[in-house]
Structures are given as structure tokens and as C-alpha cells.
Structure 1
Amino acid sequence: MLELAIAVALIALNGVFALSELAVVSARKSRLRSMAEARRSGAAAALTLAEEPGRFLSTVQIGITLIGILSGVVSGAALGDRLADILTEAGLTRSLADTLGYGLVIAVITYLSVIVGELVPKHLALRDPEGVACLVAPGMRLVSRAAMPAVWLLDASTRAVFRLIGQETESASAVTQEEIRALVAEAETAGVIETGERKMIAGVLRLGDRAVRGVMTPRTEVHWIDLGRDEAEIRALLLDSPHSVLPVIDGNPDDVVGVVQVRRLIGPLASGAPLDLRQHVHAAPVVPDTIDALEALERLQAAPVPMALVHDEYGHFDGVVTPADILDAIAGAFHSEAAEPEAVQRADGSWLIAGWMPVDEMADQLGLRLEASRAYETAAGLIIHALQRIPETGETCEIAGWRFEVVDLDGRRVDKILATRLAEEAV
């Protein structure tokens, strides 16, 4: 039964190569680097193989090909003949015994090769690709060195073919935000992270793609103090203001001279002493409306006051951005800051959406895919962009399988939008 033992051993060895191939290819390099830094045995070798996929895959292919050839020789020439002899002794004709013998051996060997030599090892590799890669990498590296000439020839030939078709052997794909979001969603489903954590991670990922216009408090909603008012009016505004920092203008809203921190004025206001507001004005960073929210956050971190003034390319004052605006973009609006929710799902499945809702958050909520480069930041901006004009109450537009209806206007501002999925409406 030596031939049978050899055939089983070859199938098991094929399984080792299949296991190694999928484990190293599926292993995340970031985890392998962390394991190598932690001095995990075999991690450095696994990382080396993962960073040279051409050489590694050539090694695996050489091993699997040789095993396939040897398995065919052993099963056909040895096991097939033995089984044919047994069937002949059982009374079958020699031709029929040869046919059945070779057929049965090939069927059994093929079955075992698929199950033991491929499927089971690959399932094991997918369970813990990094751990399995660390386990098999030292052996695979030795095989690669032993078969160096053949490995070099196959790797060079593969690269030559790729060059002929104008392609590169190295993968051009990098980790995308979609892949990160999918991974985070999978972690949420598995209970590794909470739903709130997943939402905040999504908010952080959006910061780099969102212009500062999308997180700032727009000029129409900014409360400011005009130096041209008399002292009594200024005192009343400071005492009634719910904000801790206020912009200060000098007559013209586009002439913002700085900001005041209300808490530092509590003493003069309480004592009734004369108030010279100019002495309490602090310079605030001025940022263009073209930078992204992450860069605005960096400016705020370096600023002496927790507020930045946003201006457009013509020098007009557009609004202000504060750390609270950045937190709002990450964690969502607080009830004390938002008089109404951004989006409410109704019983029929439609959504009542506030016009000021950030359009990327709305897209995540509805499952929309927006263009990467866009000139609008809110749900209202999406409607105006689609219609190419300021809409009237009751106007509708269809975008990516949804019908958006303007249900309320506040002057010229789109205040409320009703979003209905077209497929549901058709049903």
C-alpha cells in the first residue's frame, strides 16, 4: 500500500500549498507589520512573501504543478494497475477491469484532491489568514529559495506578458473609503463596534471630502455685534446671546474686525462699568471657503480663539466655523443646537428632510451615490443643482431612483424636502 500512502501524502502536500497561497494573499499587510513588530514568529517571512506576490505565486504554482504530475503518475500507473488486478481476479475481463480500475482511482483521487487538497485548506486559511501565513511562511520561503531558478523564470515570464499587454503586475488598487465603510459595517454587524461608533467613523471619513462650506454656520444664521450700535444695545445683545463667541463687525457685514469671547465680558457687564468693546476684540483666523473641513479643523486647533471666519474668493463674509461645527459633522447635531431633526422617516417609507441637511449624510441615509466633485453641500443645494434654479413649493425632481418634492420654502430658502423612492411608489 506504499502507492496509496504516497498519493495521500501528495494530496496533503497540495493542501499545504493551497492553504499557503490563500493565506498569504488574503492576509492584511498592516496586520502582518504589526505582528512582525511584536516579533510574532513567521510574521516577517509572511510579510516578505506578501510584498513579493509574483515570486510567491510562482513558487506555489511550481509546487502544485509538480504534485499534480506525481499524483497522476502514482494513481494511474500504480493504483490503477493494482485495482485492475483485483477486479480481474474478481472475474471481470481485463479490458473492463482496466477501464473500471483507472476510472475509479481517478475519481477517488480527484475527489480527495478537491476536498482535502483545496477546499478544506482554503476554508482554514480564510478563518485566520494572518495566523496561517505566519505558520507556513518560513517553509514557503525555503521552497522559494530551493526552486530559485524556476521561480525567477516564471516570475520574469509573467512580467513580460503583462508588459506586452500594457499592464503592471503590481496591484494598482489601494484601500478605498468604500472598503473601509464596508469593513466598519461588518464589524458593527458582528458586534465588534457599536452603531454610534460606526456613525462617528463615517463622519470622520466624510470630513476630508466635505468643504468647509458644508460644516460652517452660514452668514444668514450668524449672530454678530455691530460696533456702530450704542453701548446699551451691545450690552443687551451680549447678555441675551446663547453663544460663547461672537463675530464683531464695523457697520458692514463684510467688514468683520474679529470676535469677542462673551465669558470674558461677564465681569464688566456685571459691574456696570463702561464697556469699550474694541478693547475686547480678538483676531480670528480667516479661511477661504474652498478648503476642506479637516484643514479648517487644523486652523482651529492653532487659533487663539475657537472660531474661524469663512470668506469667499471675492472677500465676502460667508459664515463661521467652530469646533462645535466639526463635532456636529462627526457625531451629528445636538438637540439643543438643532430646532428640528435632519431627516425623519414616515410610515410610508418616505423621508422628510431638512433643506440644510448635509447632502453626503442624506446620501448615506437614502443609499444615493453622488458625484465626487460637486458644487453644493446641502440637500437643498442638490435640488437647486438638479433644477438649475430656485424652486417653488410643490416642484419635484427625480434623482437616482428617488423623487424629491419641495414641500416648504422659507423665503427663497428650501426648508423641507420630501424624498420618495420611485420603486416603492410604482408598487
Structure 2
Amino acid sequence: MGDLIGISLLILISALFAMSEIAIAASRKIKLRVMADEGNVKAAAVLKLQENPGAFFAMIQIALNAIAILGGIVGEQALSPYVKSVLVIFYQGAHVEKISFLFSFFTITSLFILFADLMPKRLAMIMPEAVAVRVVTIMRWVTFALTPLVMFFNGVTNFVLRLFKVPAEREDIVTTEDIVAMMDAGAEYGSLQQQEYELIGNVFDLEARFLSSVMTPRDQIVYFDLNESSHDIATKIIDHPHNHFLVVSGNLDKLRGSVESKDILRQVLKGEPANIKQELIETDVFYLPETLSLSEALNAFKSAAKPFAVVVNEYALSVGIVTVKDLMKGFMGDLITHQGDELIIQRDKNSWLVDGLTPITDLAKVLDIEEFPEQMHYETVAGFLIYNMKRIPKRAEHLTFSGFKFEVVDVEGIRVEQLLVSRVIPEPSTHTSLS
């Protein structure tokens, strides 16, 4: 009976070590860090163990191999008498000893495989962090108790690895691909809502998109001229209720500053004519180069604490104006887009009306296109057409790519105002074709 109790204890101890090995190895660092930040001391201990796992795994292998050897010795002696006593009832031949041994060996091996290996490892894989924080204290004490053996085997292992120029420790770097994979898994299982999924995905685009994709272009900027009449100033404020207006002397290349609309309205309420007085003009204009990414622009706004910025090109010419709201819309998308502001309007299942200034990355998401051809050369849908046609397209001209037809619906001067994007039968090649 004592041998049976001994083999049961060996199975339980082996299960503990096997479960600990898998749990600590499979525990996710991100989740453990969250638990540690919330005050879980054992989660911090698991993280520390993962940073230097050599001694831990050496201890595990020493323990598991020692238990396996003891299990083989004790197990055969524990079961063989019982098996033999049952077997002799049916068979008293010369091979009764061998049959008893084989049956005992098979039984002990099966018990170890099932209860000391498969089941505990499966349990540890299902909830690794929960198991790891429960066993880490025991494992640290056992590692300390076996320090001489652990140091010897761990040292030999490190020497062999260095001899073959193999890294002795794992370098954990969380890449963008890792985060995207976790996002996809979270969205698939419902733990991440659709809006949250899209928002986080848009954040990763901040470095890939530039100011030109979100700014108000030069030809759409509403500004005041120093010599503008009171009637024209009042009309612009009524038609375009912005908080700030640029003030120029003749054109946008002769920028003098900006003025707040409330200062003009204050004049009107006092019964005075709407005039651009010099004392109302804020001459400290915030400029940003058009080559900035959205991420860099957000950092610039954070440092400058300005409501808007004038976007300039390399020749110091004003090419547009951008506000913090424009940047926020660049990655928050539909979360802050009001009805009537949408750049992409779905007409039916297979067609969309698209504004020419729509960022090409936004359209790619809607159409489920991985990437447009040579996308680094343009930012907008209009830019996609112009770059591929090598000229300004005319009304009704179209281009096909990746199973979609991009047809010009409206052109204002040299600016592509609107397109109709329609799904067509995919062609054998996804190369761009013009007509």
C-alpha cells in the first residue's frame, strides 16, 4: 500500500512541475504586466522568472527526470504483486512474471502520461497566467533548493549554446504585427468592439499618412483681405462660420496673420462696420511643413498649443490649412464625422460616391484593397487617378484596378471633385487600365 501512495505522490508532483513549465512559458507578458501594475506581486515574480528562465527550466528538467526514474522503479514494484495475484487466477504458466511486469509497466506509463503530463499541460495552456501566479512561489523555492545542480546544468547548457553561437536568452520585442494579430483575435472573439478595432487600426496609420491627406487645400481656404469691404467680411462669416480666418494682403502668399471671428462679430453687435483692424490681427502664425506625418503634426500641435496651422511646401508657399479636428478625423474617422461630412457615401452594395480629396488609405479600407499601386506617390483618390493617368482626368473618364472601376463624375477646373467607384467583374490581371 505504501508503494501505491508513493506512486500517487510522484504523479501529483510530476503534474505540478509539468503544469508549471507550460504555464510560465506560455504566460503573456502584456497580461502579466497589467496584473503587476494592479499590484499582483506574483505576476511580477513570473515576469522576472521569464526574463531569466535558464535556471527555472534546468530545475524543471532535473525534477521531471528524477521523478520519471523513481516512478519507473517504484511503479513496477508497487503494481506487480497485485497484478500477479489477479493474473494467477486465469494463468499459472512460466511467463506469469513477465506478463505481470509488462502490464504494470504499461499501467504506470499510462498514468504518468495522462495525469502527470497531458492533463496538467492542457490545463496550463488554457489559463497560463492564472496557473503561473499560483505556482511561481513553489518553483522559486525548489530552484533555490537545487541550486548546485541547477547552476551546473544551466552553465553547461549556456556553454554549448554559445559554442554554436546560439542566443542563450530569448529577446522579446512586441512588433506592430504582434499588436495587429492581437487586435484581429480580439475582434474575432468579440472582446474588441468594431469601433475600437477600427480606431486602434487607424492609429497605426498616423506615421504613414501626411498632412496633405487631411488639410483643407489652398483653393478651399476662406480668408480676409486687408482691403476687403465690411459687407464681404460679414458675408464670409455668415456663409463660413469658422472660429479663425487668415488675413492676407492680396493673396495667400502674402499672409499677415489671423483674426478670430468673435472679434469681428463684437464690432457688428456694437453697431460698427465689420473691419479688419490691425490690433485684431494675430501675427504669430503657426506653420507646419506638408511633409509632416499626422503623428508628427499631433506632437507639434501639442507643443505649440495652437488651434490651427498653415501648411507650407518647400518653397514657403501656403498649400493648405489644418486644425486639430482635421488630425483627429484622420484617425478617428466616422466617430467624429457628422452627417453630410462623409467623403465616401455608399450608394448600393457595389458602388460608392467618393470625394476626390478622400485619403487613399480610407478608400482602401472600404473596398478591402490591401494597397494601391505605388501608393507612396499620392495621398488622395484624385492623386491616384492623376498619377496613373499622368494628366488631369476629364469627366466620364475612368480607370479600373483590382476589380473596381474609378469613374470621374465631376471636375471643377483642374480639381477632381467626385468619383463613382463601382465593383466590376475581376479581370485576370489586377494591373491598372485606362480609358
Which TM-score band applies after superposition, normalised by the shorter structure? 0.7 to 0.9
- Counterpart of 1:403? 403
**What does 1:13-412 correspond to in 2, within 5 Å?**
13-36=13-36, 38-40=38-40, 42-76=42-76, 78-80=78-80, 83-84=83-84, 86-91=86-91, 93-95=93-95, 98-99=98-99, 101-188=100-187, 190-270=189-269, 271-273=271-273, 275-282=275-282, 283-303=284-304, 305-333=306-334, 336=338, 338-342=340-344, 344=346, 346-348=348-350, 353-370=354-371, 374-382=376-384, 393=396, 395-398=398-401, 402-411=402-411, 412=415
Structure 1 length as normaliser, TM-score?
0.82
SS in 2 for 1:17: helix
Give 2:416's match in structure 1, choosing from 395, 406, 413: 413
Q: Distance in 1 between matches of 2:212 and 2:9?
A: 66
After superposition, the Cα gap between the structure-2 partners of 1:258 and 1:141, relative to the gap in structure 1 and judged at 3 Å, is same
Structure 2 length as normaliser, TM-score?
0.81
Which range is displaced more, 306-315 or 164-173?
164-173
Q: Distance in 1 between matches of 2:171 and 2:386?
A: 37
Which range is displaced more, 291-300 or 81-90?
81-90
Q: Distance in 2 between matches of 1:86 and 1:279?
A: 109
Conserved 8 A contact 1:88-1:94: no
Q: By how many angstroms is 1:111 displaced?
A: 3.6
- Counterpart of 2:432? none
Q: Distance in 2 between matches of 1:302 and 1:128?
A: 44
**Unmatched 5+ residue regions in structure 1?**
none
Q: Distance in 2 between matches of 1:353 and 1:115?
A: 61
1:54 partner letter: G
Q: Distance in 2 between matches of 1:423 and 1:110?
A: 59
Q: Distance in 2 between matches of 1:423 and 1:77?
A: 72
Q: Distance in 2 between matches of 1:247 and 1:355?
A: 25
**Unmatched 5+ residue regions in structure 2?**
430-435
Conserved 8 A contact 1:285-1:299: no
Q: Deviations over 1:166-202 (max 9, x none)?
A: 4434434422334334434544555545433333333
After superposition, the Cα gap between the structure-2 partners of 1:280 and 1:110, relative to the gap in structure 1 and judged at 3 Å, is farther
Q: Distance in 1 between matches of 2:390 and 2:13?
A: 66
Q: Distance in 1 between matches of 2:291 and 2:67?
A: 61
Q: Distance in 2 between matches of 1:153 and 1:276?
A: 84
Q: Percent identity?
A: 29
Alignment coverage as a number of residue pairs = 421
Cα RMSD (Å) of the superposition? 3.6
After superposition, the Cα gap between the structure-2 partners of 1:365 and 1:228, relative to the gap in structure 1 and judged at 3 Å, is same
Q: By how many angstroms is 1:139 displaced?
A: 0.8
Q: By how many angstroms is 1:60 displaced?
A: 2.2
Q: Distance in 1 between matches of 2:381 and 2:74?
A: 69
SS in 1 for 2:421: strand
Q: Deviations over 1:295-314 (max 9, x none)?
A: 32233234454101112223
